[in-house]
Amino acid sequence: MATEAVDLPIHEHPLFPSARCIDDECDGCHVNGFMYAGYFCNEPYCYVWFHKDCAEAPGEISHSSHPEHPLLLTNDSKDGPCDLCGQKLLTPCYSCPTCEFKVDLTCGMKPSPPAIEHPLCHDHAIVFLKIREEKVPCELCKESIEGPSYSCLECDMYFHVNCVHLSEEDKSTPLGKKKSSLRRFLTISTLGHFASSVTLDARSPSS
């Protein structure tokens, strides 16, 4: 029996669930790779695919980085980067209808934690900061930080959100091994600052 299409907020046409495994770009998070059990559009000239998690993204969310207002899923183009990860903002995305806060689909569905007690990139706990009035350098890549960041309040140090994401949280590794892992991370970061393939793979929703 043929599978029936479903109406989902992420796309203008009904989407069909699929059990196929395909190698393509998700039209939600825009990550290239294998997708299994996702959704696709079968309308003429609109043959797009979505990860299951991306396709089922809710039309409205409450986000820890913007608790003042709900964020709405939209396919309208928005100027500027994602207000969390700083990458180019592609649609669909989440935006605040009251102010100009906007995040990409991945940052909207998987928000940055408000604090990381044992980050791999630093010896102390770091906290998420939504807004900074002046630019500061990132302690890892040394590039200027614009927008949200993580900060060590004890050391007055700041980190790009993506640099922290690239260095996974480690709650049990001894400090010596932690620093060794950090050196490996810094090598990756230096070879390609915010390299899209590394960053997106690290943040990819489950297929």
Q: Which residues contact 39 (CB under 8 A, 6 or more apart)?
A: 6, 8, 15, 16, 17, 18, 49, 50, 52, 55
* Confidence check: pLDDT of 171 > 50: no
pTM to 2 decimal places: 0.62
Domain map (residue ranges) of the chain: 16-55, 60-109, 112-173
The yes/no answer on whether domain 112-173 falls in CATH 3.40.50 is no
- Do residues 121 and 182 touch, judged by C-beta distance below 8 A? yes
What's the pLDDT tens digit per position in 36-94? 889 999 999 898 999 999 999 999 999 887 889 999 999 987 778 888 777 788 999 99
pLDDT above 70: percentage of residues in the chain: 76
What's the pLDDT tens digit per position in 10-23? 999 999 999 889 89
